[in-house]
Structure 1
Amino acid sequence: MPKSPAEALLEKANKKVDGASKGGWLSFGGSSSSKFEEAGDLFQQAANQYKIDRDFKSAGDAFAKEAECREKAGENNDAANAWWNAAKAYKQSNPDLAIEALKQTVMYLTKSGRFRQAADREKEIAQIYIQEFNDLSKGCDSYERAAEWYSQEDAHATANGCYKDAADLHAELKEYPQAISRYERVADHSLTSNLTKYSVKEYWLRAGLCALAMRDPVTARRNLSKYATQDVTFSTTREAKFIGTLIETVEAGDPDAFTAAVAEFDQVSRLDNWKTRILLEIKKTIDEEEPLT
């Protein structure tokens, strides 16, 4: 059976690599660097042909070989780009390999000081961990790394988005103090701009719910007062009044009043999945609380 165009290119590329590795042409004035460049070009062509054939695993493998050639040729920026192309191909069918390729991309980007691009790729890693593997812990770690790099590059809006995503994940993992810290960080930064100030009440609501989920209405009440001093309009919002009511129902150990308060809030501001989950956690703490005798 004749070779496909992709297979033919791959064979030529591998022969170039073998020749470059042996270095037999050096005595004739050749350059191992240029040979690896040529091999890299062939691997790239093979990868693109595999993509046309919709063989994404083979495309990713060819891009990965291209990346290795680019590195040996001293072309680190091209190596980073090749690893990214490998990741995009692997994402079609092999998310585990996509993560490994993205990690290689990040390594090259951080080495060259391109932290904004590294953050973009780290954010992709987080999304794959969550969407493909439901690995909230690793996803959370990647979101936080991305957020730090975005902050370093003054991309604060994008950094805040990642910190908020990390906070949501911390809460789902029942790591409530960490979640509260991230929500408050995003809220503090949002207060500095009139464009983002409106979103602060949402972050503080989530932080308040986390405090209640960790069975700590005292901290929830103290934080509510702190938020009111940071923004004098907060105490008049539905979110602040909702948290205040929930604190009272938790302190009273009254699950019926809690349920009524949640239903009333939901009628005006529809609860998303995250809030629904954490409110169920809070209700569980009330149901499990032993009555005082």
Structure 2
Amino acid sequence: MASSEEQRATQLLAEAEKKAAGGSSGGFLSSAFGNRNSKMEDAIELFCQAANQFKMAKNWNQAGYAFTQAAEGSRKLDKKHDAAMKFVDASVCYRKADANRAVDCLKKAIEIQTEMGKFSMAAKQHINIAEIYETELQNIAQAIQHYEKAADYFQGEENKSQAAACLQKVAHYAADQEDYMKAIQIFEEIGNRNAGNAVLKHSAKDYFFKAALCHLCVDPLNAQHAVARYEKTFPAFQDARECKLVKAVLTAMEESDVDSFTGAVNDYDKISRLDQWTTQLLLRAKRTLGESDLT
């Protein structure tokens, strides 16, 4: 048996659809007096009320549908911002029940927002889509594409910090997929830019460290040359624990000394816990010595 919220939502949805149908017809006089627009505005309000009642009943598909209808109504009235926001509301609901529909709604919001020149808002929707592909749909290739698109939009709006955050996700996934050169390019680009910025320079070492880890997985000699470049670009990197770890690991790899490799990693981990991504890259580097774990 349907809950009281769902019964109320179904009633509101029927009223909204009736209003919307009436709002799309009528002759010249009704249009001239604004009756058509007034009916559509009423319908939009009813669709939103229905959506919220469906949310209370946890009927996410119907809530998403009602918000979508509200969005389409707003688009017919040329209320573009309202339409985009209602498509986003619909995506939030659909994400709990139908991730593909959630993506479709976000794409409609992006279409409207880019048409309006609201590229930062569109970038945020690309991030939302990327996160859906990361989690619900588990399609990393699509996630990467949308993070890259978000980064493009943020860069166009001179929002470099948000662009860097998106590109860092791309670089992490590139390294996961062993596309190390793409990851290195991104990490070095962000590191070089941050090294010259008084506010962001403290974070440069993190990007250079990640780039160096990728180099370790490709060629130790390249990694050695890269570290020298990073120290020249950002002298403080030389004293960073991350730099010292990379150098210690490089020495161990040159000498094929598994114990020294393991000891350097363990010494670092005692003070600064290694995250999963860093651990994974160090494991790949260590496998060149014929070892499959870091302990």
Shared fold (TM-score greater than 0.5)? Answer: yes
Does 1:241 pair with 2:252?
no
- Map 1:1-293 → 2, pairs under 5 A: 4-21=7-24, 23=25, 25-30=26-31, 32-213=36-217, 215-287=218-290
**Unmatched 5+ stretches in structure 2:** none
Task: Give the deviation of 1:54 after TM superposition.
Answer: 2.3
Matched position secondary structure for 2:221:
helix
On the 8 A contact 1:211/1:219 being kept in 2, the answer is yes
Task: Give the deviation of 1:196 after TM superposition.
Answer: 2.0
Task: Give the deviation of 1:255 after TM superposition.
Answer: 3.0
Once the two structures are overlaid, the 10-residue window that deviates more, 265-274 or 153-162, is 153-162
Task: Give the deviation of 1:190 after TM superposition.
Answer: 1.6
- Amino acid of the residue matched to residue 10 of structure 2? E
CA displacement, residues 174-209 of structure 1 (integer Å, 9 cap, x when unaligned): 221111111112212222333321221111111111
Q: In structure 1, what is the Cα distance between the partners aligned to 2:72 and 2:124?
A: 22
Q: In structure 2, what is the Cα distance between the partners aligned to 1:57 and 1:6?
A: 12
Give the aligned partner of residue 291 of structure 1.
none
Matched position secondary structure for 2:136:
helix
Q: In structure 1, what is the Cα distance between the partners aligned to 2:272 and 2:30?
A: 73
Q: In structure 2, what is the Cα distance between the partners aligned to 1:267 and 1:34?
A: 67
On the 8 A contact 1:81/1:105 being kept in 2, the answer is yes
Q: In structure 2, what is the Cα distance between the partners aligned to 1:161 and 1:282?
A: 25
- Amino acid of the residue matched to residue 161 of structure 1? A
TM-score (norm 2): 0.88
- Amino acid of the residue matched to residue 26 of structure 1? G
On the 8 A contact 1:99/1:125 being kept in 2, the answer is yes
Q: In structure 1, what is the Cα distance between the partners aligned to 2:133 and 2:173?
A: 12
Q: In structure 1, what is the Cα distance between the partners aligned to 2:112 and 2:256?
A: 55
On the 8 A contact 1:33/1:74 being kept in 2, the answer is no
Computed over aligned residues only, the root mean square deviation of the Cα atoms, in angstroms, reads: 2.2
TM-score (norm 1): 0.88
- Amino acid of the residue matched to residue 181 of structure 1? Q
Matched position secondary structure for 1:187:
helix
Q: In structure 2, what is the Cα distance between the partners aligned to 1:20 and 1:286?
A: 73
Matched position secondary structure for 2:289:
helix
Matched position secondary structure for 1:271:
coil
Q: In structure 2, what is the Cα distance between the partners aligned to 1:245 and 1:136?
A: 33
Q: In structure 1, what is the Cα distance between the partners aligned to 2:7 and 2:180?
A: 55
